[in-house]
Structure 1
Amino acid sequence: MSSVDKKRQSPDQYFIGPGIAFFFGFTWTAFLEGEKKMKKQYLLFATCLVLLGDVNDSLAVESEMQTHSLNDQADSSSEPVPLLGIETINGKTYLTITATRSESSVKEIPAKVEVIDRQMVEQTVGNTITEQLKKNASINVIEYPGNLAGIGIRGFRPEFSGITKHSLILVNGRPAGTSNLATLLADNIERIEVLKGPASSLYGGEAMGGVVNIITRKNTGKLTGMVETGLGSFSTNKQGAAVGGALGERFDFDLTANRYDQDGDFKMGNGQTRAYTRYETQNGSARIGGKLGDGWRFDLAGDMYQGRDMETPGDIFNGYTYSGYADRDRYGADATIGGKLGANNRLTLTSYQAKETAENYSNSDWGTTVPTYHSYDTDTSWVGVQVKDEYSWHDHRFIVGVDYQDIGVENLSFKRNGTRKAPYSPDEGRENWAGYLESIWKFMDRRLTATAGGRYDTFDVKTKETPYMTGFTPKSADFSTFSPRTGLNYLFDQGVRLHTTVGKAFVPPTAGQLAGYSERLVVLDDGTSFTSIIRGNPDLDPESSITYDAGVGYEQKKWGLDLDFTLFHTDVDDKISTTTSGNTSSYGNSLSAEMEGLESSLSFDVGAPLKWNRSLKFIVNSTHMFKAEEELASHTMQDIQNVADYTVNYGIQYDDGLFDGLLHLRNQGGMRDTDWNASGYPVIEYPSFTVVDLMVGVTLQGHHRIILKVDNLFDKDYYEKQGFPKPGQSFFATYRYEF
């Protein structure tokens, strides 16, 4: 027996075989039984597995871990290690990280992941992440003038405020630190990864519908940069600059700065001007990173957003009675250090902090027009730490980690004379500890990929002492939950891909639902009064869901063809509802919901089979909801509101190196919503609509770039939320100098 063969008989082989059987068997048992003792066994197994990996690093003879980043390889002077599972989009090479918290190919993982690449981000009309998602990933969104927006994935209603949602937003893998998606702009983005389906097994709460991970640009090579300026409809102007690259052999950096000013009110598709729709934003980012030697690297990064005089017209039904404006700020900062602990082991540590504030000014006081006054503020902060260890054994990988997060919310309200008064909601906090394990198994010459993992979360939520709030007693409550997920993916020689996952997810109760307590004096029309009490329920369980999905994909690069169809079904249990007994209201887990649908994507590049030196691509991305229903307190079912029956994005994309462009069409089906302006508050159905956008760009002499974008090309008069019509036709032209 050769020395190599002897080395291959490392202790790993005596543990991994039984470990595979134990891990899959345990995950499914925990899935079905959910017993607390199994959760403890799971965490113990995760700890033992990563310790086993560290002990056996000295015995491993495999090549260096094949999940190093592309940047690490580009910086290496030695022959690069071959990468497995690389995803190619528009001729560029990417690895997706959202589905497993480890670099993997979207074609080899079971989970449904869609990637919006850098070129598509630039060609899409719209300067916010919300615009990117609704036009490229076919998810539901809600947008209000004044830059207030949120999303919903796979049939969940879009949410635009609060710290408890059903879709999670990340920036470079850490929480974005915003409750309002409109504060994340489409500048400095390398790609956007959209994971559709439950991800609580990796990310905990708020990942029931899916996860959006925004990957920012990271220039570690030659120094590059750009400056740009632009003008457009509604007296809009923009300026921007970016620079980044290597600083010697060890360090690298990125800097960006942008300003956007819409100094005029927009016109609707009917030709009328919608007053109180002007706003101004500025944003920027900074990063510095470097090599620490022996395969280790650090990165320090920060980003900021400021929205000033962001006017809000209110519901068009009320004219401009409820108009006002807001000043919004957001910043985030993170520090990451990562490197090799051994040939097959990589450790990453990340700490982050974020803060979001909003100052709101109103022109009305309970429907009466008054001089503009400072009405209320919100202040939300996030602090967290992520520790992740990746270990590889042959083609298999294990990702184990610990997450910590602390969120605080402060609310302030003001009278018209500027003095403080009690806010509508108490201050609150939420602390979360979690441990997770994800495993990726490769069999049958890497054709079959199996994933299995789970996460154990503990939460401590509390309402805090709130100035000026009487009849209120601060309280706290805690709970824990376990979320498993597993999946299979098989690749055939002919380019066919079969994939399926099943996973459990959860959304934590709010602090008010768990630990709130308030009293309010209610005076009736006849002059009598009573005390209304709202009391939290410390025994409240998180909302939970189980999602199954299955899909088939097909890819033939020589034909330029790539398609995928995925069916999904979600059952939601323990939905939180309000219960009332006499004058006291509380909360309970008594309701349910059910969603199912079909997600499809198609890309066909005519230039590939014809062997052109240019690309002419037909693209389609859609979501069709077969069912999206939720249970009411009366135990009857109704359609989930603000969820479209279908959303179809399709278009033609062109690029020959000199000219490029995108003709994009978005067709949205009907949806249900409550008409709060009609007697009895009936449920109504919105009409379907189709909106067309156009982008044309030209690059001259490798440095000069001119871009023309047309939003709502045919001046469609439409709305996505009743009472808040969208802008009509608008033009925007940009000149950019790149170096």
Structure 2
Amino acid sequence: MAEKRVVSGIVSSASDGEPLVGASVHISGTGIGVVTDGQGEFKLEVPENTSEITFSYTGYETRKVSPGHGSVLKVSLEESGYATGEIVVYSTRSIEKLKNIPRKVEIVTGKDIEALDPVNATDLLKKTSGVDVIEYPGVLSGVSIRGFSPKFSGLDQNVTYLIDGRPAGATNLATIDMNNIERVEVIKGPSSALYGSQGMGGSINFITKKSMGRIAGNASIGYSSFSTLDGSVSVGGSLADRFDFDLGLRSFNQNDDYKVGSNTLISDPDPEVLEQEIGTMENSTYATLSGNLRFGYQIDDRIRVDTRGEIYQAHSVKSPGSIWGVYGHGEKDVDRQTLDVTMTGEWGVHNVRFKPYWSEEKSVYYKKDDDGFNYRSSTSETEWLGFQLQDEVAFSKQRFTGGIDYSTADVVSRSFLDAETEKAPYRPNQQLSSLGLFGEIGVSLFDEKVIANLGGRYDMTVYKLKETPFFSVIDTDSEEYDNFNPSVSVQYRFIPECKIHASIGRAFVAPNPYEKAGFYVDSNGMETRGNPDLKPETSVTWDAGLTYETQNGGFRADVTYFSTDWEDFIQTVSAVDDDDTVYKTFVNLNAAEMNGVEFEVSYDFGAWDDYRYSLRLFTNFTHLFSSKTMDDEIEEEMLYVRQNRGSVGIEYDDFKLFVARLTARYIGDRFEQNWFRYYDEVRPTLKDPIIEIPASLIFDASVAFRVNDTNKVTVIAKNFLDENYTEKDGYNMPGRSLGVRYTVNF
């Protein structure tokens, strides 16, 4: 029988040295352990040959320590990415604790990503963050926030997508893979004061892993319904004292067409609105490959350089052409790649960052000719090039962040009649360039009881059409526009657990270049003229809310009211000039008002027992009181936006052997354009131009078994009650999917 000895010590927070009460201390690979007492101290009897002890605490990174031959251990734990009150958030362009940000911020943690097993970024966000979604089968989707319509392509997005604080270089959110993403920060409300165009609804920042210390990682392999095989590897750590890296690889392959759901739990939809007889989404198979690599080098105590690249490929993606196949079956290749370099330096009160970046997103679409062979029917390629330069100056608890951003986006399109004949694309090639100057003052008063941020950004935008084959006439003269977007946010913490917060800001979305600049004639002889007087779409949003959270992290609640005035919608119109020539142009017509309330509540019953376990209930819900567009006193419902949406869930973790999660997602009614009214075989009587899509309720669950500290088996059930629903009219989403995943840590 092995001899035993007693190991004692104290567990504390690495940030401030405070003892951690209720931290778990156990012999690695076993269920033998204790928790720290009121002073953060512990005593644990271990076998003499014990090689490793695991220390963990809610909101902190787990740490494994070799006890050696000593009897006293002093262990400090680093705060993790999901410590509700202490998380460091980067989406504000300065390093701030979540509790000190006077804005509505939601964090999607690494634990959420692991439990939900998302196919891509959209799959994750729609299950966690109360966003609106538009999604087609086979790598095409987008999201939006607080009532703005979601988009899946184009430079005129309503949400800013970021990767580590810089533009993501993606209009199709499905191309952002979750492998090697540590967490996601969702900031609701206008972001143009920090990031420029596309920030009317808010910003979504994907934070990548940055590993240091001992090289470690994990590999997983999974199999699920529709003959889906999913494998990934993630590894990172320090290669030398100053040199570290992260590497992530993933292969996903859905080999069979998916089955759609067979139930409608909370609605009784018109069969012409929601197809219920066809059980399989034909031509819906696809496969993806993705990889990312980061190298970091600490030049000295003040200067650091990180380089990160990412590749995403989805080739031979099948396109079903709707559940009825009325648009015909197609195929496409989707590619995205990106590269950036981050240089940071600290000199006294200055924290300087310079980040140049490059991204490319490309889609190639195929059709079958009369002989049944695929030919390239069209291509679309968008390339981004830019940089960010900023300086954060800190004076005690006050700060100023300012800098300059430059970006240019080039869009090139091609179209083909057949395998050998090229024709004019739908729109000419175009370029959008922007130079932005921004600054923000952060003030903290009365021992952080009052925190306020005051900022603004001045953007100069240049629009230009480029020479395009098969366009008979193109005016390539550029047009310019400049505007200023201010923002103010403030919070007051009247007791340690409770604060009120409010913000107001202006945001804008720049027009596409072909809408503002130039003149062109398409292959049919129709003239399109840009409108040099065209204004960007603008919005002013204000919100106010109340947040309550206990010091031990057991309970958190927030309720926020928001209101948006959206002006200068851009619409396409026909016009006639003095020579009686009919042409298309673009004008600012519509306006919109959106207001609503959003709340989130969570409680962890593990707080009752010093977090020896975690049993967490959580919910979030968004209700829009109004989301209507207005033109000449005619009101219409905002399209692709749900008046109500929310989720509720329960999660249990014993921190040893078992973790389980059950969630339900409610998506309310929405209005869409009825593009299928032209097909009598699909909608013989439903001819309204706008139709209402019914509400749905989708359940997901996962159960993970920790065989030991190295091996884990997870069972995952997605949409396990087999709901039949859509995220875009005519494109029913997958029904019940069951799967198993094996993960090994190393």
Where on the TM-score scale, by shorter chain, does this alignment land: which range?
A: 0.7 to 0.9
- Give the aligned CA root-mean-square deviation in angstroms: 2.1
Q: Work out which of the residue numbers 635, 638, 641 in structure 1 matches 2:636.
A: 638
Find the aligned partners of 1:284 and 1:626 in 2 and give their Cα distance.
43
Output the amino acid matched with 1:360: Y
Per-residue deviation, residues 57-95 of structure 1 (Å, max 9, x unmatched): xxxxxxxxxxxxx99xxxxxxxxxx999x8973589530
Q: Work out which of the residue numbers 111, 114, 117 in structure 2 matches 1:122.
A: 114
Alignment of 1:520-599 (within 5 A): 532-558=526-552, 560-582=554-576, 583-599=582-598
Per-residue deviation, residues 284-338 of structure 1 (Å, max 9, x unmatched): 1101101111311110111110001111101224x35521111111111110111
Displacement of 1:148 in angstroms is 0.2
Find the aligned partners of 2:132 and 2:425 in 1 and give their Cα distance.
31
Output the amino acid matched with 1:581: A
Find the aligned partners of 2:522 and 2:120 in 1 and give their Cα distance.
40
Q: Which residue of 2 is the match for residue 420 of structure 1?
A: 422
Q: Which residue of 2 is the match for residue 733 of structure 1?
A: 740
Q: How many equivalent pairs are there? A: 644
Per-residue deviation, residues 591-628 of structure 1 (Å, max 9, x unmatched): 21111111111111011124341100001012111111
Find the aligned partners of 1:297 and 1:224 in 2 and give their Cα distance.
22
Displacement of 1:125 in angstroms is 4.1
Query: In structure 2, do the counterparts of structure 1 residues 615 and 83 end up closer, same or farther at CA, with 3 Å as the change threshold?
Result: closer
Q: Which residue of 2 is the match for residue 27 of structure 1?
A: none
Contact 2:465 2:513 survives alignment (8 Å): yes
Q: Which residue of 2 is the match for residue 35 of structure 1?
A: none
Find the aligned partners of 1:239 and 1:89 in 2 and give their Cα distance.
25
Find the aligned partners of 1:92 and 1:242 in 2 and give their Cα distance.
28
Contact 1:87 1:105 survives alignment (8 Å): no
Per-residue deviation, residues 671-704 of structure 1 (Å, max 9, x unmatched): 1111112265521111111000011112222000
Output the amino acid matched with 2:567: D
Contact 2:87 2:98 survives alignment (8 Å): no
Query: In structure 2, do the counterparts of structure 1 residues 494 and 335 end up closer, same or farther at CA, with 3 Å as the change threshold?
Result: closer
Contact 2:220 2:232 survives alignment (8 Å): yes
| Corresponding residue SS for 1:185 | coil
Q: TM-score, normalised on structure 2? A: 0.83
Q: Work out which of the residue numbers 247, 251, 272 in structure 2 matches 1:255.
A: 247
Q: Which residue of 2 is the match for residue 347 of structure 1?
A: 352
Contact 1:137 1:194 survives alignment (8 Å): yes
Per-residue deviation, residues 458-503 of structure 1 (Å, max 9, x unmatched): 0111010001222433332111010000011111225111000010
Contact 1:108 1:490 survives alignment (8 Å): no
Contact 2:497 2:550 survives alignment (8 Å): yes
Matched, 1:483 2:485: yes
Contact 1:345 1:391 survives alignment (8 Å): yes
Query: In structure 2, do the counterparts of structure 1 residues 561 and 474 end up closer, same or farther at CA, with 3 Å as the change threshold?
Result: same
Q: Work out which of the residue numbers 275, 299, 303 in structure 2 matches 1:296.
A: 303
Contact 2:542 2:562 survives alignment (8 Å): yes
Output the amino acid matched with 1:330: R
Displacement of 1:371 in angstroms is 4.6
| Corresponding residue SS for 2:675 | coil
Find the aligned partners of 1:233 and 1:205 in 2 and give their Cα distance.
40
Q: Work out which of the residue numbers 195, 210, 214 in structure 2 matches 1:203.
A: 195
Alignment of 1:282-293 (within 5 A): 282-293=289-300
Matched, 1:232 2:224: yes
Displacement of 1:419 in angstroms is 2.1
Contact 2:426 2:522 survives alignment (8 Å): no
| Corresponding residue SS for 1:293 | coil
Per-residue deviation, residues 379-433 of structure 1 (Å, max 9, x unmatched): 1111111101010112101001100101111001111233211100110111111
Which range is displaced more, 436-445 or 469-478? 469-478
Structure with the larger helix share: 1
Find the aligned partners of 2:249 and 2:359 in 1 and give their Cα distance.
19
Query: In structure 2, do the counterparts of structure 1 residues 429 and 321 end up closer, same or farther at CA, with 3 Å as the change threshold?
Result: closer
| Corresponding residue SS for 1:161 | coil
Query: In structure 2, do the counterparts of structure 1 residues 359 and 587 end up closer, same or farther at CA, with 3 Å as the change threshold?
Result: same
**Uncovered stretches (5+) of structure 2, i.e. residues with no partner:** 1-59, 62-75, 263-277, 577-581, 679-686
Find the aligned partners of 2:722 and 2:692 in 1 and give their Cα distance.
22
| Corresponding residue SS for 1:121 | helix
Q: Which residue of 2 is the match for residue 503 of structure 1?
A: 505
Displacement of 1:644 in angstroms is 0.5
Q: Which residue of 1 is the match for residue 88 of structure 2?
A: 95
Displacement of 1:370 in angstroms is 6.1
Query: In structure 2, do the counterparts of structure 1 residues 314 and 684 end up closer, same or farther at CA, with 3 Å as the change threshold?
Result: same
Contact 2:308 2:341 survives alignment (8 Å): yes
Contact 1:125 1:710 survives alignment (8 Å): no
Find the aligned partners of 1:113 and 1:463 in 2 and give their Cα distance.
38
Displacement of 1:362 in angstroms is 2.2
Contact 1:146 1:325 survives alignment (8 Å): no
Query: In structure 2, do the counterparts of structure 1 residues 130 and 430 end up closer, same or farther at CA, with 3 Å as the change threshold?
Result: same
Query: In structure 2, do the counterparts of structure 1 residues 388 and 729 end up closer, same or farther at CA, with 3 Å as the change threshold?
Result: same
Displacement of 1:269 in angstroms is 1.1
Matched, 1:335 2:338: no
Q: Which residue of 1 is the match for residue 693 of structure 2?
A: 686
Alignment of 1:627-666 (within 5 A): 627-632=626-631, 634-657=632-655, 658-666=657-665
Q: Which residue of 1 is the match for residue 376 of structure 2?
A: 374
Output the amino acid matched with 1:540: L
Displacement of 1:575 in angstroms is 1.8
Which range is displaced more, 682-691 or 471-480? 471-480
Contact 2:471 2:521 survives alignment (8 Å): no
Alignment of 1:413-492 (within 5 A): 413-492=415-494
Query: In structure 2, do the counterparts of structure 1 residues 315 and 652 end up closer, same or farther at CA, with 3 Å as the change threshold?
Result: same
Output the amino acid matched with 1:309: S
Output the amino acid matched with 2:342: T
Contact 1:169 1:175 survives alignment (8 Å): yes
Which range is displaced more, 472-481 or 276-285? 472-481
Q: Work out which of the residue numbers 706, 710, 713 in structure 2 matches 1:706.
A: 713
| Corresponding residue SS for 2:124 | helix
Contact 2:85 2:553 survives alignment (8 Å): no
| Corresponding residue SS for 1:609 | helix
Query: In structure 2, do the counterparts of structure 1 residues 363 and 321 end up closer, same or farther at CA, with 3 Å as the change threshold?
Result: farther
Find the aligned partners of 1:333 and 1:141 in 2 and give their Cα distance.
27
Contact 1:374 1:418 survives alignment (8 Å): no
Displacement of 1:249 in angstroms is 1.1
**Uncovered stretches (5+) of structure 1, i.e. residues with no partner:** 1-69, 72-81, 523-530
Contact 1:607 1:616 survives alignment (8 Å): yes
Which range is displaced more, 203-212 or 652-661? 652-661
Q: TM-score, normalised on structure 1? A: 0.84
Q: Work out which of the residue numbers 391, 394, 399 in structure 1 matches 2:393.
A: 391
Find the aligned partners of 2:238 and 2:77 in 1 and give their Cα distance.
23
Find the aligned partners of 1:671 and 1:642 in 2 and give their Cα distance.
6
